[in-house]
Structure 1
């Protein structure tokens, strides 16, 4: 009987989402970095960079027991990428690093607790596997969806993500 582990499931999901996210990021135009659909929305480049930086954030869930947002020595994202090439290079680097951290982990470690907090205030405390899914992958997918709306508003054809997109000629829309 074949059993699939928590680690294997997360890795398979990560691989799918990384490939899908990269296809979308490849279409983000740096020349329209300041585009925003609404005054309360992030700018296009800020959102694309956030999607990439979330990969490093996800790695915290795998390798540490907690993260305090008030810790001045806590990990910080690198400088904002200044080109599409730099954005994709960071995405590939962070994705590979997250994948390696997951490969170096195991089911038992992924059931250990992770606490996200701001000083004494707990924002989230869950098993690492759940933290990766909820604050990691789901959070990334949420922002990727926002990014796809930005691209649609800029009339940039979208890649298929969970099937063909309306921009795929074989879709028939």
Structure 2
């Protein structure tokens, strides 16, 4: 009976091993940084390489401000990126997922530096969200929420107008 109870473990171990070839350090590496451009035309941006944030003011263009994330915020984001496997092979086209033509276009680009590796992820509006794309969008929203409550961001002007 004992041998039978281990039979289910091998397929699970093989599946887990096949999920990602990326090895993530348990602790956030010193070289961890990211940049994410998102929103209409990819005009919003959070960039930890340069500690800058760009806010889209719609009719009034964009405004850039210096905002650094805390070590605690960076560690939390790192853990969330590991959970999503942001350095792995993400395929947004799987499971019938397709890009939608929207006007104006919603565009996202991530640049992630981690453990000496650089990964770029780009996509436009997605029609059928997979678990990967939903997790990445939640992470993007989480990062925006961190930035939006900071005093420096709160001092920025409100957007003028809106996108149709």
TM range (shorter): 0.3 to 0.5
Larger Rg computed on CA atoms: 2
Q: TM-score, normalised by structure 1?
A: 0.32
- Between structures 1 and 2, the one with greater strand share: 2
TM-score when scaled to structure 2?
A: 0.33
